[in-house]
Structure 1
Amino acid sequence: MKQFFLKTTLFLFALTLSNCEKNDPQDQLPPITQTGENTFGCIINGEVLIPQNGKGSLSVTPKRGITAKYLSNNNFIIDAGNFKDSNGNRIYIYIYNLTSTGVYNFELSNGESTSTFEPLYPHCWSIISQNSKYISDINTGTITITRFDNNIISGVFSKLTLVNIDSPNDIIEITNGRFDINLNTVNK
């Protein structure tokens, strides 16, 4: 009887441990690649963000889960969000004068896109559950571009802290970020 109890206990412990590992947010992210897979993923305050097509908050037309642009002035934009979920999260990354691989420091954002705000430095903003907008500030994180050639831009960001635009004491943390963009196919 003791042997049965011990085996059952060990089995249940192993089953519980294996289920915990599968629920690890990092395991849900796409792998870090540099081959133009058109992937993006990060963890925002413990919740995984993987782009999904759907309907944008202000639009009835379908919205792509991930879009990216490399502008003629060497500025790079990624706009990624879970638009399938009505409370989905969104992140917008702008890198000024991207001309090579390397580390870029995020600076102060005003929470607007390049149509109205095109600063001479990288910045980032995020919308959480379509309710709150968070912005990067000076020295709140970095992004590392690991590949920049043949219309493929790949990179990672490990820790990025954003501040609520309306309440500076409300802070979110974005971790384990990665993207692998093929500019020839991402917006199609």
Structure 2
Amino acid sequence: MTGENTFGCLIEGKFFRPRDGTGTFNTEDRGLRVIGGGNQSIELDARDFKSIKTASILIHLENLIETGEGNYQLNSSNRFRGLDGNNNNYMHCTIWGDKAQTYQQYLSFDQSGIVSLTKFEVIQNVQTIRSGTFRGNLVRFNNPTDTISVSIGRFDIKTPQLFDVSFP
């Protein structure tokens, strides 16, 4: 809870962590980004750009000022983000499906998990520390009988220093 700029979890028992990529024209492939409308809502966007079969996970939290530190129940995701996403707390991820030999998208559903924000601190309106844990069950977008588990998730993020951190 000191702003070490770390993120990790298990997705179906396999360790996931963000890792930077080589970048594309005019953009960097950042392994971890915090996106949001100030302190009202944020999105933690973690991606593994280094693995041959990459993965990503996005956590969207609403009403940070009202709720502050505490538990955020995960509800339904429509698989979009930002303005196109639902106005509730949600998580979704994309992982490689060995059986289908293609990427699969998994979405949170009502009461499918929890994010516990254990530290939310704004320092001099410039630096913000957000720390916590998360877990949940997600259902595949095009096959509601296929579910996965995200467990032992944790994050400890201090912005704006996040832009100076590399995720090898």
Interval of TM-score (by shorter of Structure 1 and Structure 2): 0.7 to 0.9
Question: Which residue does 1:170 correspond to in 2?
Answer: 146
Show the counterpart of 2:114.
142
Quick one: distance in 2 between partners of 1:70 and 1:183? 12
Tell me which stretches of 4 or more aligned residues in structure 1 moved more than 6 Å.
none
Structure 1: runs of 5 or more not aligned: 1-33
What amino acid is the match of 2:12? N
Residue type of the alignment partner of 1:88? T
Name the SS of the counterpart of 2:50 in structure 1.
coil
Q: Which structure has the higher relative contact order (CA within 8 Å, separation 6+)?
A: 2
What SS does the aligned partner of 1:125 have? Answer: strand
**Distance across 2 between alignment mates of 1:65 and 1:74:** 23
Structure 2 partner of 1:93: 59
CA contact (8 A) 2:74 2:109 kept: yes
Cα drift, residue 69 of structure 1:
2.7
What RMSD in Å do the two structures reach over aligned CA positions? 1.7
The match for 1:44 is: 11
CA distance in 1, matches of 2:35, 2:118: 17
Secondary structure (helix, strand or coil) at the match of 1:131 reads strand
Q: CA deviation at 1:70?
A: 4.0
With structure 2 as the length reference, what TM-score do the two structures score? 0.84
Q: Among all aligned residue pairs of Structure 1 and Structure 2, give the percentage whose two residues are the same amino acid.
A: 32
Unaligned runs of 5+ in 2: 97-101
CA shift, 1:73, in A, is: 5.9
The structure whose Rg is larger is: 1
Question: If each structure's strand is expressed as a fraction of its own residues, which one has the higher value?
Answer: 2
How many residues are aligned here?
151
The one-character-per-residue Cα deviations of 1:109-163 (angstroms, maximum 9, x if unpaired) are 011111422x331011000027000000000001000000031000101x30000
Letter in 2 for 1:44: I
